[in-house]
Chain A
Amino acid sequence: MTQLDGPSTIAAPVAADPDGGRRTPPVQQRTGRKVSIGRIVAWVAMGILLLITIFPFYWMLRTALSSNGALYANSSSLLPADFSWGGFERVFGLQTVDEAIEQGGSGAKIDFWRYLINSAIVATVITVFQVFFSALAAYAFARLRWRGRDLVFGVFLLSLMVPVIFTLLPNFLLVKQLGLIDTLLGIILPSMFMAPFAIFFLRQFFLNVPLEVEEAALVDGASKIRVFFNLIIPMSAAPIATISILTYMTAWNDYFWPLMVSYTDDSRVLTVALGSFRAQSPQGGPDWAGLMAATLIAALPMILLFAVFAKRIVNSIGFSGIK
């Protein structure tokens, strides 16, 4: 998270700083010391909250770089206990079974490369298809004229009310009937056609593309399909990027559905692999270093994604989070 921008430049309508804090002398003169004490207390509170937020990430790293045996003797030093790459080596299957067991691993065959690749495939395919299909539908609801448009849109609105959790069991049965249990496609399928939220989100932006631009292209003889691909999509690149990032994160972090569908390494994604890694604790206590190395690997792509797109993600929350 090093690429975060400094002071934000979003167009938040805060002309006057209410507390007279940052470099606004008049107010500070008026209430002088009282305000500054209040601000110190506020900063301390903020600092504590930030510490609570960030510390677990550091502790993950610190533990992952410790050697498992040393954690028992030295459970509280802020630096890694007896620095070692062993945790990572076990997670990627780079140690022999004997080595792994000796260092506190379970010795079970685990290969996080495999799960990492599975997760990447699932999240990428879901994102590409879901966003594209949702964009098509959003355009039909925003700009095409056809009978029953509002009615159908209303039906899509209803689907937001269906709790995802309720659909999981029947969807599992459907995927089973299709013979897709324990395949990546089985994990992907229910999410790849659309997401109600993505449709609403994109429709909102398509509605704001000026009609004149579109009409000018139509008068020039462009078809609506061309207008959509050559005009609407490029003009909406920013919201499409935002929804893609959010979709990718959701797909990457999903656990319940993949847990139902995947049974072997063929289709095991990272979240599910983490769950079973924790379940197969070796005798004599869990392989904490290995477990934290594994969680770090699962979290890292999201942290990197966030480091690059922090501003976009942060600013998307507020109008997108609330439907």
Chain B
Amino acid sequence: MPSRPSAGAGRGQRRPDDTKLALLFIFPAVIGLVLFYFWPLVRGIWLSFTSWDLLSPERFVGFDNYTRMFADPVFWNAIWVTLEYVVLNIGIQTVVALVIALLMQRLTQSTLVRGLILAPYLVSNVVAALVFFWILDFQLGIGNQLLEWVGLDRIGFFTTEEWAIPTIAAVNVWRHMGYTALLIFAGLQAIPQNLYEVARVDGASELRQFTGITLPLLRPILGLVLIISVIGSFQVFDTVSVTTSGGPVNASRVLQVYIYENAFAQFNFGYASALSVAMLAILVVVTFFQYRITRAGQTDLN
């Protein structure tokens, strides 16, 4: 057994002698990594240069898929719709989560409150989407009843072009705001309390304390939270798929939905792969810029 030498060398500096055991231990994980992370990455990029309908063998077509993509109005529409979704989703979610986190910090540390606020995160996107599909139904939804009671017009939340994306963004804010709030809350807990005491002695107002202490010290955490949630937000699919399936017309056809349709409705795997590469490129660029912004935030902390 590979363990024999290490037991013998127990007294002195241990030599790097666990290689066999280590290979055994990482073997399953390496299979998973190669087969389901790196191989798909390579294969996905390769497929984007082919034309393939799954039936006949794939055929190399060079940059055809990409030239088609750049000329495809539905693709550009999907990019804009996705961006609109991300901006709305992340914008609202971050503000609401920050408010919840600050309220929790001020009012209560109770696990009950934190648990309740986290509850939506536990159910799937599909469940969240369907519940709001019902609540916001034009005729019978309690949401629209409420609008009527306060004297407003009913809104076709999932059925009108201008409301589809904001509604879907809001549904996902509902599901994720508690989770994000708890992340920010953890960041708030790490801020030394004596800073606030000093500020209060100096007569700083609540607002001044928030902009002078809380926000700058929270920036690195907020940056990390933003990176995680923006990347997740770009990959929106479930909610759109079960509620509007991209409609009305193309109003909520986000990039993921368009990719899925190309692959599984039109069996155009080559083109779908090219669209996926575009998504990958967007995510790489976004992550890169976010990291830079977060880094910059970290330096002015000290």
- B17/A50 in contact, CB under 8 A: no
Contact with A along B24-60 (1 / 0, CB 8 A): 0110111111011111110110010000001000000
- B120/A163 in contact, CB under 8 A: no
- A169/B269 in contact, CB under 8 A: yes
Partner of B142, one of A19, A59, A271: A59
B134 closest partner in A (C-beta): A288
In the complex, chain A residues whose CB is within 8 Å of the CB of B96: 49
Q: Which of B227-275 contact A (CB under 8 A)?
A: 228, 231, 235, 237-238, 241-242, 256, 259-260, 263-264, 269, 272-273
Q: Does B208 contact A (CB under 8 A)?
A: no
**Given A14-B109, A194-B28, A275-B241, A314-B140 contact (CB < 8 Å):** no
Q: Does A37 contact B (CB under 8 A)?
A: no
In the complex, chain A residues whose CB is within 8 Å of the CB of B23: 146
- B130/A278 in contact, CB under 8 A: yes
Chain A interfacial residues counted at CB < 8 A: 113
Q: Does B110 contact A (CB under 8 A)?
A: yes
Query: Smallest Cβ distance from B133 to chain A, in angstroms?
Result: 7
A298 to B280: give the CA distance in the assembly, Å: 32
- B40/A167 in contact, CB under 8 A: yes
Q: Does B179 contact A (CB under 8 A)?
A: yes
- B183/A16 in contact, CB under 8 A: no
Residue of B16, B47, B115, B279 with highest tally of chain A CB at under 10 A: B115
Given contacts A16-B193, A50-B117, A191-B36, 15 further A-B contacts (CB under 8 A): A6-B110, A7-B110, A42-B107, A46-B113, A59-B142, A76-B145, A140-B22, A140-B26, A155-B33, A170-B44, A193-B28, A259-B241, A302-B122, A305-B122, A314-B118
Residue of B43, B123, B190, B256 with highest tally of chain A CB at under 10 A: B123
- A219/B10 in contact, CB under 8 A: yes
Pick out which of these stretches binds chain B: A93-101, A233-241, A250-258: A250-258
- B36/A167 in contact, CB under 8 A: yes
Residue of B19, B26, B190, B197 with highest tally of chain A CB at under 10 A: B26
Q: Does B299 contact A (CB under 8 A)?
A: no
Q: Does A171 contact B (CB under 8 A)?
A: yes
- A223/B22 in contact, CB under 8 A: no
A291 to B287: give the CA distance in the assembly, Å: 38
Chain A binding surface SS class: helix
- A53/B116 in contact, CB under 8 A: yes
Q: Does A25 contact B (CB under 8 A)?
A: no
Pick out which of these stretches binds chain A: B67-75, B83-91, B98-106, B161-169: B98-106
Chain B contact residues, CB within 8 Å of chain A? 1-3, 6-7, 10, 14-19, 21-23, 25-26, 28-33, 35-41, 43-44, 47, 54, 96, 99-100, 103-120, 122-128, 130-135, 137, 139-142, 145, 174, 178-179, 182-183, 185-186, 189-190, 193, 196-197, 221, 224-225, 228, 231, 235, 237-238, 241-242, 256, 259-260, 263-264, 269, 272-273, 276, 279-280, 283, 287
In the complex, chain A residues whose CB is within 8 Å of the CB of B133: 278
A102 to B41: give the CA distance in the assembly, Å: 51
A193 closest partner in B (C-beta): B32
In the complex, chain B residues whose CB is within 8 Å of the CB of A16: 193, 197
Pick the 9 closest A-B CB pairs, nearest first.
A193-B32, A318-B186, A170-B40, A253-B124, A223-B3, A137-B29, A144-B18, A194-B29, A140-B25
- A-B residue pairs in contact (CB < 8 Å), sample of 23: A4-B111, A18-B196, A42-B103, A43-B107, A49-B117, A56-B120, A76-B142, A136-B29, A152-B30, A163-B279, A166-B276, A167-B44, A173-B269, A174-B36, A193-B28, A193-B31, A219-B10, A255-B125, A271-B124, A278-B242, A298-B124, A314-B115, A321-B179
